[in-house]
Structures are given as C-alpha cells and as structure tokens.
Structure 1
Amino acid sequence: TRKRFAKGKLNIVERLINKLMRSGQGKRKLSGKYIRGKRSCGKKLQAMRIVEDAFLIIENETKQNPLQVLVKAIQNSAPREDITRVKKGGIAYTLSVDVAPLKRIDESLKNIALAAFSSSFNKKVDAAQTLAKELILASKNDSNSFSVKRKDEVERIAVSSR
C-alpha cells in the first residue's frame, strides 16, 4: 500500500525522472498542443538517459555540480502562493493560499518537465538538451525559463485574489 507523504522520502532526481514519464499535459494546452503522448509512459530507462545526458550537458556548460543546479532550479521555480476555489452561499470565488512544501516541489518539477518536452516536441532538438537549458535558466532565475514564468503567473494571480 502507498503511504502518505512517501514521495517525500524519494530522491529528487528520481522524482524528476518520474515526472518525465507522465502522459498528457493536463487541463491546459501548451503552444496549442497537448504535449507528451502515451509513448513515454513507463519507459524509465529512456527518462533516466534523458536526465543523465542533461546532467552531462549542464556540467560541461556551467562547470557546476548538476545536482546543485537542479536544486537551485527547483527553488527558483517553486510557487509560494496558489489559488483555490471556495464556494460560500452558492457563490464561488478564488482565495489565495500558501503552498505546502511537497506541492511546491511537485509543481516545480512538473513545470520543468513540461518545459523540456514542449520545446523539444516535433523539433530536431532532443529532450536532454532542452531539459539542460531549462534547468540552467531556472537556476539563474531567468525570465526566459518556462517554469519561472509559470511560477510568476501563478503568484500574480494569487496576489490579485487576496
């Protein structure tokens, strides 16, 4: 049986690998398309190779420890505030709420994986290069990073619904 908060004990690199294996985009289209079909579900070796190649690219480009770059990218792209819908007296409105630490990491990893696949989808650039580029940009807190943009967008909406 699955225990509550068991993913908190999982290695952060393995959590990134698991996020790369997800299918579908979720509720929203990205660039007018649903990214990540069912082809990469369950192919853990393929996802591990993507992450390993991305870490080699990061090490060659930045001369830093790739795990440190990953941790910095997660810190910079994790949202601190989010919104939730509250229904009171038949009227639904949004409220700003703080994000739990596990959900912050999950959202950050999800956005990093989405960015890697959206920029390599139907293009000649492979997923390892785009993942490395996204991690480097997010670790520098660059506004060109998709995950940092997504975090800023979520926090801006949360501030407006206080």
Structure 2
Amino acid sequence: MVIVLAENEEIKAVEIKLFDKWSYEGIEIRDPSLKKYISLRPVFLPHTGGRHEHVRFGKSRIPIVERLINNLMKHGRNMGKKHLAYNIVKNAFEIIYLQTKQNPLQVLVRAIENAAPREETTRIMYGGIIYHVAVDVAPQRRVDLALRNITDGARNCAFNGPKPIEECLADEIIAVANNDPKSYSIAKKEEVERIALSSR
C-alpha cells in the first residue's frame, strides 16, 4: 500500500499489527470449514463496538481476538469490563510468545481448530418421547464453543487459585494448541464427541 503525498514524494503505509506488536501476515488456518468464520482482518485495536449485532452471521466478521475478549467478559467479575478483558488477553499473548516463541495469533488459531467439536447431540421429540440424536456442528458454532471452552478453562483455573487469569489463559491456549488431553477445552470436546458417538 502506497500513499502519495506530493508530486515526487511517497511513503509506504505502516503494517497493521495487533496490539502494535503481532503481525497478521502468514497466519495459517488449516481447517477449511473454519476459514470463513475465523476473521484475521488486520486491526490496530480489536474493538468494533457491536456493529455486527443486527447482521446475520455478522459475528464471523469480528476479529477473532475481539471474540476472545468478549467471551472473557461473560459471567461474574469481568462482566462488561472490556478494558480489563483487553489487558488480560494482551498480557496472555505476551506470555504465549515468551513460552512458545511463536506468533500468539497463530497459537490461538491452532487452539480454536483443536478445541472445536465436530459432533454433538440434540433433543428430538417424537410421539411424546425425547430422543438424543447425534448431529454435525455448524462451523460458526464450532468457533463459538471453542472460544467458550478456552475462556471457561482459564476462568476455572484462576478462580480461588494462586495463578492470575492471564497466566491461566496463556497456559490453556498453549495446551489446547498442542492438543493436550489434560486441558479443559480438549477434555470438554472429547466428552461431547463421546456422548454424540453413543447417541448415533
């Protein structure tokens, strides 16, 4: 991108980086079904102000980091405190980089791909009897469930524990990105898929 200033002067535009640190270049989404629903559109500040709210599938166009921040605000102490949640994610990304030496955005994308369940159960009523039937999970719901499980895992780890939530969130994202079965999100995903398998 080039901005022309005068007849002979021109400067190159600055690359947009998340938190002015992490590049969006070269981030790879391996799962083809999630490509449309993990938004990696470059933004300086992940804060859209809810402009997606009345648009169908609008949340799939929100930067994925903002969706993580929004999920951290749910339930209890952090309710509505977006700046606090923003700082938690920013510090967690620093910890992820120190531990893995990789771009935290890439680690987050890997974690979402690994934590997203492919199959779950739904209730179907037939003749007054309720059956539980296995169904495939829609890609947008897969991303929602993955983000919810990652933030729930971090919240459970930090609640009445010695570690601050930034460390818990970083540890959970790294563990899920490495497909560690001890992490909360992977355990939850495997439980949901196991129940769906038995309901086929």
Q: Percent of aligned positions with the same letter in both sequences? A: 53
Choose from 65, 81, 87 the match for 2:119: 81
Choose from 164, 169, 172 the match for 1:134: 172
Amino acid at match of 1:47: A
Choose from 117, 121, 131 the match for 2:159: 121
The alpha-carbon deviation at position 78 of structure 1 amounts to 0.3
1:4 and 1:78 map into 2 onto residues whose CA distance is: 21
The alpha-carbon deviation at position 2 of structure 1 amounts to 1.0
1:77 and 1:145 map into 2 onto residues whose CA distance is: 10
Amino acid at match of 1:145: S
Kindly provide the CA deviation profile for residues 78-106 of structure 1, in whole angstroms up to 9, marking residues without a partner as x.
00001000000111010000000110000
Per the normalisation by structure 1, the TM-score is 0.90
Structure 1: unaligned runs, 5 residues or longer: 24-36
Larger CA Rg, structure 1 vs 2? 2
Q: Which has the higher helix share?
A: 1
Choose from 4, 9, 21 the match for 2:73: 21
Choose from 117, 137, 147 the match for 1:109: 147
Per the normalisation by structure 2, the TM-score is 0.73
Which is further off, 62-71 or 117-126?
117-126
Does the alignment pair 1:65 with 2:117? Answer: no
Counterparts of residues 85-96 of structure 1 (less than 5 Å): 85-96=123-134
The aligned residue for residue 3 of structure 1 is 55
The alpha-carbon deviation at position 122 of structure 1 amounts to 1.3
Kindly provide the CA deviation profile for residues 95-123 of structure 1, in whole angstroms up to 9, marking residues without a partner as x.
00000011000000000000000000012
The aligned residue for residue 50 of structure 1 is 88
Cα RMSD, aligned residues only: 0.8
Kindly provide the CA deviation profile for residues 10-68 of structure 1, in whole angstroms up to 9, marking residues without a partner as x.
00000000000001xxxxxxxxxxxxx2x311100100000000000000010001000
Secondary structure at the counterpart of residue 54 of structure 2: coil
Whose relative contact order is higher, 1 or 2, with alpha carbons under 8 Å and at least 6 apart?
Answer: 1
The aligned residue for residue 43 of structure 2 is none
Q: Work out the number of aligned pairs and report it.
A: 148
Secondary structure at the counterpart of residue 197 of structure 2: helix
Structure 2: unaligned runs, 5 residues or longer: 1-52
Secondary structure at the counterpart of residue 86 of structure 1: strand
